[in-house]
Amino acid sequence: MRLDFYISHVTELARKAAKIAASKGRVTVNGEVVKKANFTVQEGDKVCLDDTLLAWPSEGYYLLNKPAGYVCATQDPDHPTVLDLLPSHLGQELKIVGRLDKDTTGLLLLTTDGQWLHRITSPRNACNKRYRMMLADPISDDALAQLEEGVMLHGESQPTLPAIAERISDCDIFLTIQEGKYHQVKRMLAAVGNKVEELHRDQIGPLSLDADLDAGEFRALTEEEVAYF
């Protein structure tokens, strides 16, 4: 496994920060300073950051900035999956917390902890999720009010729960929802006569996507972030 991958898995550092730490001589492997981020770490190696020995956690909790074109599945015959963005030994153990459509980008959580996953995804816990979207047409104040009050989706018997809709510009809004119905955000905008052209999730509960985490990159959650849920 690459050294920068290893460090980003077991610390709070993103891969960019892990590369910088290595380049500055802050990382040793088996007592030797290693400055190359692509150095291969073998099982059993003793890796230290600032003289602190690093070790894999008993449970894994990760945040991924999902790029477009990847599906949220363990396997898919036609498309790459989000697990393909992680080292193979991690992907074999991780479960995806909720789903994002193939063309939707942004914050995605992955974990080995089934109970933690359930606390986030269970409807009883009402975990807010915020999405930013670009729309095909300008959205009216009346349509925003409808989204906030709840709209009836095609094929459903009950309207959506109250949401928070915030205008950024005529065709650019934030929408915060608690539910996770199939294609819910896109269906909600269709219900008020509009269409989602681009969709990006930037928050789950109190957890926000890092501004400096590029699409396709991921990092381990901190203990404080894990305790949010």
Give me the active site residues, please.
101
Listed in sequence order, the DSSP H helices in 135-183 are 141-149
- What is the spatial distance between Cα 113 and Cα 16, in angstroms, rounded to a whole number? 26
Please give the distance of CA 53 from its chain centroid, rounded to a whole number.
Answer: 28
How far apart are alpha carbons 24 and 50 in whole angstroms? Answer: 10
Q: DSSP alpha helices (H): ranges in 52-201?
A: 88-91, 114-121, 141-149, 184-191
Residue 160 makes CB contacts below 8 A (sequence gap 6+) with 150, 151, 152, 153, 177, 179, 181, 184, 188
Sign of CA dihedral 151, 153, 158, 162: negative
The Cα-based distances of 57 to 9, 94, 213, 226 in angstroms read: 9, 13, 22, 12
Q: What are phi and psi of 195, to 5 degrees?
A: -145, 135
Residue whose pair of structure tokens reads 């699409």 in the numeric block: 215
3-state secondary structure of 161: coil
